[in-house]
Amino acid sequence: MGLDVQTILDAAAANGQGKIILVEDNGNVVLPLHTTGTTTATIKFYGSVSETAPDFTAAQSPSNSYEALEVVDLEDGAPIDGSAGIALSAAAATNRMFELNTNHMRWITAVISGYSSGAITVRAKVGDLSH
Contacts of 124 (CB under 8 A, 6+ apart): 5, 6, 7, 8, 21, 23, 29, 30, 31, 108
Please, what are the domains in the chain? 5-57+64-127 (2.60.120)
**Statement: residue 94 has pLDDT above 60:** yes
Per-residue pLDDT reduced to its tens digit, 2-43 = 457 999 999 999 999 999 999 987 888 999 999 999 999 999
Amino acid 1: pLDDT: 45
Mean pLDDT of 102-125: 94
- DSSP single-letter state for residue 27: -
Q: What's the whole-number mean pLDDT along residues 76-97?
A: 91
Q: What is the pLDDT of residues 45-77, one digit of tens each?
A: 999 999 999 999 899 999 999 999 999 999 999
